[in-house]
Structures are given as structure tokens and as C-alpha cells.
Amino acid sequence: MVTLTPAQVWRELERQIFAVLGMVTPQNEARTAGVVYVVHQRKLYISSLKSAWKVRHIARNPHVSMTVPIAKRIPFLPWIPIPAATITFAGEAKIWEPMELPDAVVRPLFRGMTITPETSPPFAVIEVTPKGDFVTYGVGVPLLTMRDPEKARGRVAVG
């Protein structure tokens, strides 16, 4: 098992922008959605329309999971398929109005859109606070090491 620090995992999360968000419907059915996120003060923020089912599901059940895929490539041989490395964790989600959050979250999250009281009504922001451990695969290891699951796996407290 690879030895990682929470700081290493957070640094990798800050480098990425895409994740798969897992949630549960009111009927206790699992659902996932691809999302774009930003990291601010060890929390992940996701923009969405208020009418989106992910916002409705999370409002009823704030327990979520996230998996962040990290693309791997062989230099000069980018056509060879390599499985992505991953960071997975459970978390607690909260729904915010964009105007309730600091500009340091809203500006990068909405990537240039001007968010004002007039333009923000259709939008919500999902804040995810990771809990427990980060479970990783292929993070902080060379590509060839990823072939050995025991050496490529990692687990570290969220910190």
C-alpha cells in the first residue's frame, strides 16, 4: 500500500476539476452524476441548477460520495489506454445560494459568469465536506506500479 499524506491528496484534488458525485434518492436508489468542482478551504464546491435532481436528492439526504478520476498517460504514446488513478471519499453535502458564499468560491466555480442577485436565482451550489478517509488508487505511484493493486492502493485520513 502506498503511503500518502492528506496534503498530497488535497493537492491532487486541487489540480483536478471533474468528479463523479454519488447520492441516494428518496426511494433509497443509488444515483451518480458527473460534476465540475473547485476546492476551497478543504471543501469541494459544485454548481448546479436548483431544479436538478442532484440538488433535490442531496437536500433530502446529505450523505454523498465522490470519485475523482485522474487521467494517466504514457509520454509520447498517448494512444495507449491507461486506467485512471482515483481518489474516492464519503462526505456530507450542503446546498447553498451562490450569493451566500465568498467570491473566492463563486468566481472560479462559475468560471467567468457574473453572479448577481438577479442572475443567481436558478443556481445552487453544493458544498461537499469529505469525511473519514480518502481511498486512492494509482495516486503518487509510477504507471508500472499501478499494475500491482496492493502497491497502488492507498488510504489516508481526510485531515
Q: pLDDT per residue over 51-98, tens digit each?
A: 999 999 999 999 999 999 999 988 888 888 889 999 999 999 999 999
Answer for the pair 88, 66: CB distance below 8 angstroms, yes or no: yes
Answer for the pair 91, 132: CB distance below 8 angstroms, yes or no: no
CB atoms within 10 A of CB 95: 16
- 1 part of a folded domain: no
Distances (CA, A) of 110 to 43, 103, 138: 16, 10, 30
* 31-37 mean pLDDT: 98
pLDDT at site 80: 84
- State the residue range of the domain holding 38: 6-157
Domain count, the chain: 1
When pLDDT is cut at 50, 70 and 90, the band that residue 110 belongs to is very high
**What CATH number is associated with residue 102?**
2.30.110.10
User: Hey, what's the cell of 41?
Assistant: 478551504
